[in-house]
Amino acid sequence: MLDENTRIAILQLHQRGLGSRRIATALGISRGAVKDVIKQNSAAIPKGTREQLPESLRERIVELHQQCKGNLVRVHEELTTAGATFSYQTLTRFCRVQGIGYVPTPPAGHYEFGPGEEMQHDTSPHDLVIAGQKRRVQTASLVLCFSRMIFVQMYASFTRFSCKVFLTEALRYFDCTAGRCMVDNSHVVVASGTGKNMVPAPEMEAFAQRFGFVFEAHRLGDANRSAHVERGFDFVENNFLAGREFQDFKDLNAQARAWCDKVNGAHKRHLHAAPVALFAAERPALKNLPAYVPDVYQLHHRIVDVEGYISVDSNRYSVPLGLVGRRMEVRETKDAIEVFDGPRKACVHPRVMDPSGARSFLPEHRPPRGQRPPKTPGPDEQAVLKSDTIVQQYAQAFQKRHPDKTALVHRHLRRLLRDYPAPPLVEAVTEALQFSMFDLVRLERMVLRKVGQQFFNFHDDKGDDEDK
């Protein structure tokens, strides 16, 4: 169809006396089109002769649109059953013109970000092949808005713990941070509210304060506000994940990091530069990381079961012998499961990423079959072993006489060693061992008697009268 300017040119040339052939040659159009315009003698574009639906059907179409839940195919079927003869395309055009089920698409906004002003974080699900099996993972991405530097990692599920692990890795990758991190309104970061009224979860707010930035959320439904990170997910799916298979999550994230290095170093036509070149200009405006960035861990408390295992995310991890029934502190990091017995680290396991009920066993936690595990002396026994030789001999003799009271003699002797001087104690133990006396209460009386003889001057009543 000829536009209005072409129709005006045809009429002007016709008024100057030019024939249809010369006009068609000059404007590069057909003679038939020139003749039609001359015949109509008007520059206005004639309206089309498309089939129009009568306004009387509008109420029925609106009613069927609600009943069929917005499915225009079903609306057309119901109208055809009722005797309508128009096409499906005519129905969709009528609904579009009348605004039935159609909402005009608002224009996308444009946002300008200065160096170091903002970074955007979001997640998106993707399907890929890991160890020969197709599965869905959560892709996390962080983008610096000025330089468009990107960092991507994948997780089996994305929780607040995973979020803190990812952001720590991303900020270490950039070795700096922007002043603001724009996120969506998901519960991972948000505790309550949306948009400007968003209140971050306390642990996420404390995490942001450690690195010197703040979380902000875009207005609900305004995905264009975080367009830089949203656009990157399509690039990840159609570039990085296309045609690739992975052995496990460790291999997947290692390849994702290498892909980020490649993408950040490539020239971008719409930026007229590579992201690393823009990052070099943005770096002075970004904030430095703290001097010490600790590894993120999730704290659990577990009681060792009768098989000598603790459970984290349905996966089981072995612990050293002698800890059955004990309450342990477990720290779950990005790559490891660390088990603590009080302040001491009992063991470390590689973390199993998938909650699949797997068992992680360390050979040193179980002795070979038929061999007893080495016995670790307790604090009472260690105190006796560090004491005088005669005290150790007395403890050994007591154990032979009363093998079921080993802990009792060690605990009693440790108390005597702590409460009384060594010389009278050694003398009393020597005498008790000489006469095979294993009454611990009587032994303590002997120690007290010798302490009184050596350190105190006791006089009987008769001696006191003579002195007077």
Mean of pLDDT values over 359-363: 91
- The CATH code of the domain at 119-285 is 3.30.420.10
Mean of pLDDT values over 1-18: 87
pLDDT of 222 reads: 78
Least reliable range by pLDDT among 47-51, 69-73, 105-109: 47-51
Q: For the chain, give the percent of residues with pLDDT over 70.
A: 93
Q: Is the pLDDT of residue 54 over 70?
A: no
- Exposure string (b/e) for 14-43, b if CB count within 10 Å is 16 or more? beeebebeebbeeeebeeebbeebeeeeeb
Q: Which long-range contacts (CB under 8 A, 24 or more apart) does 260-264 make?
A: 260/150, 260/151, 260/152, 260/173, 263/150, 263/235, 263/239, 264/149, 264/150
Q: Is the pLDDT of residue 346 over 70?
A: yes
Rg (CA), the chain: 42
Mean of pLDDT values over 340-354: 91
Least reliable range by pLDDT among 32-36, 225-229, 257-261, 453-457: 453-457
Cβ-based neighbours of 93, under 8 Å, separated by 6 or more:
50
Q: What is the DSSP track for 21-72?
A: HHHHHHHT--HHHHHHHHHHT--SPPPP------GGGHHHHHHHHHHTTT-H
- The CATH code of the domain at 4-40 is 1.10.10
Least reliable range by pLDDT among 156-170, 260-274, 293-307, 355-369: 355-369
Q: Is the pLDDT of residue 51 over 70?
A: no
pLDDT of 93 reads: 86
Rounded Cα distance between 224 and 218, Å, is: 9
pLDDT averaged over the chain?
Answer: 88
Q: How confident is residue 162, by pLDDT bands cut at 50, 70 and 90? A: very high
Q: Is the pLDDT of residue 468 over 60?
A: no
More confident residue, 30 or 461: 30
Cβ pair 230, 222 in contact under 8 A: no
More confident residue, 98 or 398: 398
Element (DSSP H or E) covering residue 180: strand 180-183
pLDDT of 83 reads: 86
Which residue type sits at 125?
Answer: P
pLDDT of 464 reads: 47
Mean of pLDDT values over 250-266: 94
pLDDT of 108 reads: 65
Q: How confident is residue 455, by pLDDT bands cut at 50, 70 and 90? A: low
Which residue type sits at 285?
Answer: A
Cβ pair 101, 70 in contact under 8 A: yes
Q: Is the pLDDT of residue 461 over 60?
A: no
Look at residues 28, 20, 228 and name the one whose alpha carbon lies nearest to residue 118.
228
Could you tell me the two tokens for 397? 């003799």
pLDDT of 117 reads: 93
Mean of pLDDT values over 219-223: 80
CA dihedral 204, 205, 206, 207 (to 10 degrees): 50
